[in-house]
Amino acid sequence: MEDETTALGNNELLKMYHEFEARALEKFCRVHLQAADKANEDNASSFQFSAIVNVAMELVTEIKKYPQRCNDVHSDSLMPSLVEDKAFVLSRCTCFGYSCLTRVIQLIGGADGNNLPKLTVTQLLALVAWVEYFRNAIEKAYPDINVGPSKKMYFSEIPLLLAGKCEIIDTERLTKALSWVNYMVWEVQRMSQDEFLLRTSAETDKWITTVYKNKYKIRQTNDGNLVTDLCEDVFSLADIQLRTIRERLTDTSDALHVMAVCLIFSRLRSKQISSRDNFIKDLESCCAAANDFQRMSKRVEDLSRDFIKHSNFPDALVSMLQDSCGTLVSVYSSDATFSAKMSHAYIMESIESSNLSKKFFRREWETTLTCNQLALTLTLTLVRLLYLSFVVLCETSSVI
């Protein structure tokens, strides 16, 4: 087969390349002007951000349309051969991809992402969605390019073709340039994801700290169990944050979705480990803590199970989520067991302080306490204590 550059002609390919560059530039310039007309001082940056991302999405949509033409019968006289169509597609992908990349790099404050902390969570996720859309388009058109290079690449290492310092264009140069663009787009995704996860961690720490600082009143359920509202407060806020993340992420953001959930579970685990002893102060608080922690372990299991049920995650992500869930459940369950055990100390302390041992088997025992009420009370107390410990241990044996 003849060389692709020869088939299309270098002059034609170079002209095509510059036409694509001009078209992408015109789109971005136009949207800049439109955003400037609509925006005011308060929302100018937000308007510009949305406008640029929307154009970037539009250009990727055009990229996705044309690889399919390579398998179609050609009726366009300007594209007489399959070889020429491939060059056409590759040139378009490279030009549009690089044009989008340069605008996105400006949005995030350069190759180091200096402006990322200033973006909202919605804007961060919009960047992630665009990157995934772009990489999906490139993966379908050029699977080998999407695999990525064997070594790290840098923005300063821009190919000569993209820097405008190359007068000869062929498919090899275009392929290398597109590979570089694809890698740098992935870097944008990595930085955006890192910033998003950092925000998620900070937000989780903020509300979980507030919840654990609350002074909870102990109440008794209809079943006679002592509990507080700790479990309800923790997981009502956790549900809100997880639901918000789910609504903001696209269907192609499965990995980031699972990472965010696992991060929230990790922060909950860390806070529980550092705060457990704050809930163990006396007999009633020990019983309430044991019940609260056990209910929290069940809530985590239910939440994770429901999360997996209503998603279509690959097995690797499901396994990752289950491991994170199991670690948190184990902490809650072991803390429930510990709290139940700690109640023993308060019960025995109460028994010892009442000097019951001095009242047993004395004259008063025979003459006054004929019904052995003290012995009955003590026995029932110990039976209830043993029953509580048995129940807690049985419920936690599956995860400890």
Q: Residues 239, 135: one domain? A: no
Nearest Cα residue to 91 out of 67, 115, 75: 67
Q: Residues 185, 223: one domain? A: no
Of 322, 340, 358, the residue at which a domain comes to its end is 340
pLDDT of residue 353: 59
Q: Residues 76, 126: one domain? A: yes
pLDDT of residue 148: 60
Domain count, the chain: 2
- CA 198 to CA 176: how far, in whole Å? 33
What 3-state class would DSSP assign to 226?
A: strand
What is the CATH classification number for the domain harbouring 317? 1.10.357.50
Q: Residues 104, 173: one domain? A: yes
pLDDT average per 10 residues of sequence, the chain (400 residues): 45 80 87 68 75 89 63 40 65 90 91 91 89 86 69 78 78 87 91 93 94 93 89 92 79 82 95 93 88 94 87 88 94 91 68 60 62 64 61 49
Provide the 10 A C-beta neighbour count for residue 133: 17
Phi, psi (degrees; rounded to nearest 5) at 55: -65, -40
Q: Residues 130, 236: one domain? A: no
- CA 383 to CA 51: how far, in whole Å? 70
- CA 357 to CA 316: how far, in whole Å? 60
Q: Residues 101, 173: one domain? A: yes
What is residue 281's DSSP assignment? S
For residue 73, the enclosing domain spans 4-192
